[in-house]
Structure 1
Amino acid sequence: MAAAPPAATPRIIGIDPGSTITGYAVIDGGASPRARMIDCIRLPRTDFPTRLGLIFDRLSEVIREYGPDQMAIENVFVARNGASALKLGQARGAAICAGASAGLPVAEYTPTQIKQAIVGRGHADKKQIQHMIAMLLGATGPLQADAADAAAVALCHAHHAHTGSRMRAARAGSA
């Protein structure tokens, strides 16, 4: 029986949402992921609705420029400060709307899932994430923490997608 043709390498945009800094990364997934862009949006000190519009606009531009097939975003975690959690949720919503308006499927991952996929344990710190992203994606120079977190989200999704396609292929081969 002939093997199934290899799946196309997905291009993934990963998002680490924030109301003052939103990290984003575009990677080509698959067995050997490769970074296309790792950066962040630094939002000006202006009214909050304007910042939400800037998140949407800038991420829409990145999506048009790099043409990702999928979006992955960090899930909102429980914050001690309710107002901060609401702002984070709204920034996350602006990012999701940018992906949804471009027709991208959106996957969501908890911080623990992301850390587990990148570092191998769910309680890694920011420095460990930055170090592993630099190693796994060949990033040169220091990575801004929010940008590295966005790359970690994209890479987590790539790992989940790659593992899922390998499992589907294995099940198809045994049928």
Structure 2
Amino acid sequence: MCVSCSSGDRSLGVKGQDDWEEVSIEVDDLVDAGLSLVSVNTGIVIWASQYTNTIFQIDNIRWEDTDGDNEPEDPQIEYNLLQYGKGNVSDVINPSSYRCAVDYGNWIYNAGVVEPAIPGCNAATKIPTGTPTKIFPQIIGNALDKNVPTHKWWGSIPFRGEMRVGDVNDTAHVTADPIRARVSNKVYA
């Protein structure tokens, strides 16, 4: 969690000397200590304050809404779950997962197979503005009659990566073919 160093340490006291011990920490207490919920950017960090060679086993971590307010909303998007292998996949990507970066332009990621450029990006929150432009798969044969995951269709997939020196409008691409994957700053049709 991103708690400012100026907020001080949060001591848990001596724990687990004799056996497993449950520890509960209120998120509101962390917010009061300086945690910004819009900038949580790491996992849980725990260390021994008085001992060396200490072994921690942390298990069964979960977030619970104990005060009953602010129930999470269901996604406001239409989606279907498709059986795939022993699990399932959604037929759409949740727009809440979209993120962006500002690097000689505004670039979107976590948005599926889309054009990499996006009209705007809030650099502080990494939340893009505008609607991503989908790229449609180039599939043939029996694949035309099935739901095909993006990693199995033929085509170029843009990704965030190095651009060619001197050309801020050209992103890198991975192009799959039956023999190898080419990584290039050019699209191969």
Q: Give the structure, 1 or 2, with the largest relative contact order (CA under 8 Å, sep 6 or more).
A: 1
TM over 0.5: no
TM category (shorter chain) comes to under 0.3
TM-score by length of 1: 0.26
Q: Greater helix percent: which structure?
A: 1
- If you compute each CA radius of gyration, which structure gives the higher value, 1 or 2? 2
